[in-house]
Structure formats: C-alpha cells, structure tokens
Amino acid sequence: MKKVLLTGAAGEVGGHLRRELAGRYELRVSDVKPLTAGPGEQFVAADITNLADVLRICDGIEGIIHLGGFSVEGSWDTIHAANIVGCYNLFEAARQKGVKRVLFASSNHAVGFYPRSQRIDHTAIPKPDSRYGVSKAFGESLGSLYADKYGLEVFCIRIGNVKERPVDARRLAIWISPRDIAQLMTIGLEHPSIHFEIVYGMSDNKRAWWDNSNAARLGYKPQDRSEDYAAEIMAKHKPGDERTEMYQGGGFVHAETGGDPNKDATGKPI
Ligand code: 15L
C-alpha cells in the first residue's frame, strides 16, 4: 500500500506520524488548519464535518489513518460535529471511494471507566469516561458496521498517550512512543488479513492495564519501555483524587470541557 491519507495531520500525533512514516508512503496530509507539506507529501485542506470535502481527500487513496477530530473532552456540539459527524463522513467517503483500509484512532477513553485494578483486552466492551470517549466507542462501532456490511478493512487503535516520553504516573501505564505508534500504524496498513481489529496503542509498559495480545498476534513488537522513566516520574508523583486514581481514564472521569488530564476539574494544573 502506498497512497495513504492522514487526517488531523496538523495535530501532535499527526506530526509524529508524518516524521516516522516519511518516505514509506505517498502521504496526503489533511487538516482543517493549514500546514506546510514536507517532501513527498501533498496537503489538501478539508473540514471533515463536510462530506464533499471528505470525498475529495479520499480520491485515489488506498489506506486512511484517521486522526481527525476533537482530541479531548468537549461540549456535545463540538464532539458531535468533529467526532460523530466527521467520523461518519470519513467511513462513508472511504466506502464510496473504494478505499481498502481505514485505521481509526480510537482512544483509551473509550474504556476509561474500567478500574485500574482490572486488566482488559481487545474484547472489553466500551466503558467511556467522557463524551469524547463515547465518540471513540461510536467510531469503533461504525468501523465494525462498515467492515461487516461493506467489506472495508478496519483497524482500531485504542491509543494511550503518544509522546517522546511518558509525562506522569498514569501515562507510565498507557504511554506509546512515536516509533511504536508508527509500527502499529504500519501493521494496520500492511497486514495481509485484517477484517475488523481492535488493539491498544501502548509501548512495552510494565505497569499496563491492558493485555495487548491481539496486537502481538498481528506482529507488534514495541521497542520502547515506560519503566525506563518510572523512577524519575514516581519521585515527583502527587496522587489525584480518589476517582482520578481509581479509573484508567484518570482526569477524564471528571472533565466537562477541554478534558486535559494535566489539569483538575476546575482547570488548575495538577
Ligand atoms: C487521548 O485520547 C487524548 O487525545 C490525548 O490528548 C491524551 O489526553 C490521552 O488521551 C491520555 O489519556 O493521556
């Protein structure tokens, strides 16, 4: 597979993937925000809430990495437009344009209300911790429908937190490095037999709450380990309130808008 569309390309995860996947694919990078295309990239602006825009960016594409949307908790209007309507438009445009494979950036927040004491795998049914988490569960369900009904090949990654290094105690469990998320995306694009799959987007994390055997079965071998940063992070760790510490989704279990887990429910940094 060569011609790949990356939606939400102007975001942080998009930036990591553009760097990691450069030279491996003919990347069409798209976002509602302007961005400068790099070597071997084509930039096409699109608003994913508009089906005509999404049909245009899917033209001639073999595989899609769908990062586009609103990436934290927000108002229902915001989540509905970007993550419900936008996600529907993406799958529908992929179907109409005969795109073979769609990689859906789901999130740990689709399962954020599982307690940290419970180890879950790819068969865990959603337990969203936010409207944002509900939208990710919706995207997974829509992917399942388009796989079973229309034969689209769909690979959903319940992404933890993509950063150069884990930033706090919770992220020691869910962190994924840029090169590991790129490896998972490459498996999603290249694996010869995908119908509908769910995997977790995490590195080799000793403190993980997830059994990622489905990713391993498909060939994933993470290169990075969060434990390498654990001593430094735990030395600075200040536990949050009881519910934040109890659930996998952390601060998202309280968030109402702009759910940034680095801030408490009132917006104060924690
Ligand atoms: C997500 O789904 C968000 O997109 C990201 O910004 C982080 O908040 C991440 O979850 C997380 O849980 O750390």
Q: Which pLDDT tens digit goes with each residue over 69-79?
A: 999 999 999 99
Distance 160 CA to ligand 1 centre (A): 6
Active site residue 150: no
Distance 236 CA to ligand 1 centre (A): 21
Confidence grade of residue 270 (pLDDT, cut at 50, 70, 90): very low
Element (H, E) at 96: helix 86-96
Confidence grade of residue 23 (pLDDT, cut at 50, 70, 90): very high
User: Does ligand 1 have an atom closer than 6 angstroms to the CB of 170?
Assistant: no
d(CA 157, CA 215): 9
pLDDT at 219: 98
pLDDT at 259: 54
Rg (CA), the chain: 18
- When pLDDT is averaged across residues 82-93 and rounded to a whole number, the result is 98
Distance 116 CA to ligand 1 centre (A): 16
The strand pairing partners of 210, in sequence order, are: 120
Residue 268 has pLDDT above 70, yes or no: no
Is the CB of residue 94 less than 8 Å from the CB of residue 38? no
Comparing CA positions, the residue from 181, 166, 168, 183 lying closest to residue 228 is 166
- Which member of 25, 114, 132, 220 is catalytic? 132
d(CA 270, CA 250): 12
Is the CB of residue 6 less than 8 Å from the CB of residue 18? yes
User: Does ligand 1 have an atom closer than 6 angstroms to the CB of 108?
Assistant: yes
From the alpha carbon of 260, which atom of ligand 1 is closest? 8
Residue 263 has pLDDT above 60, yes or no: no
- When pLDDT is averaged across residues 136-159 and rounded to a whole number, the result is 98
3-state helix, strand, coil in the chain (%, to 5): 40, 15, 45
d(CA 109, CA 161): 11
Residue 267 has pLDDT above 80, yes or no: no
Task: Pick the range with the lowest mean pLDDT from 34-43, 134-143, 246-255, 260-269.
Answer: 260-269
The pLDDT > 90 percentage for the chain reads 93
Dump strand ranges (E) for 58-121: 63-66, 101-107
Residue 68 has pLDDT above 90, yes or no: yes
Distance 175 CA to ligand 1 centre (A): 10
Dump strand ranges (E) for the chain: 3-7, 26-29, 41-43, 63-66, 101-107, 153-159, 161-162, 175-176, 196-201
Mutate-to-test residue for ligand 1 from 161, 163, 252, highest number of ligand atoms within 8 A of CB: 161
Residue 157 has pLDDT above 90, yes or no: yes
User: Does ligand 1 have an atom closer than 6 angstroms to the CB of 261?
Assistant: yes
pLDDT at 240: 87
The residue contributing the CA closest to ligand 1 atom 2 is: 107
User: Does ligand 1 have an atom closer than 6 angstroms to the CB of 130?
Assistant: no
Distance 98 CA to ligand 1 centre (A): 31
d(CA 184, CA 167): 21
Is the CB of residue 205 less than 8 Å from the CB of residue 175? yes
Residue 143 has pLDDT above 80, yes or no: yes
User: Does ligand 1 have an atom closer than 6 angstroms to the CB of 71?
Assistant: yes
Element (H, E) at 175: strand 175-176
Average pLDDT, rounded, for the chain: 95
Which amino acid type is present at position 220?
Y
Distance 97 CA to ligand 1 centre (A): 30
pLDDT at 256: 82
Residue 258 has pLDDT above 90, yes or no: no
The residue contributing the CA closest to ligand 1 atom 7 is: 161
d(CA 59, CA 97): 6
Phi and psi torsions of 103, nearest 5°: -100, 120
> Which residues make Cβ contacts (< 8 Å) with residue 193, sequence separation at least 6?
none
- When pLDDT is averaged across residues 194-218 and rounded to a whole number, the result is 98
User: Does ligand 1 have an atom closer than 6 angstroms to the CB of 136?
Assistant: no
Beta-strand relationship, 196-201 and 153-159: parallel
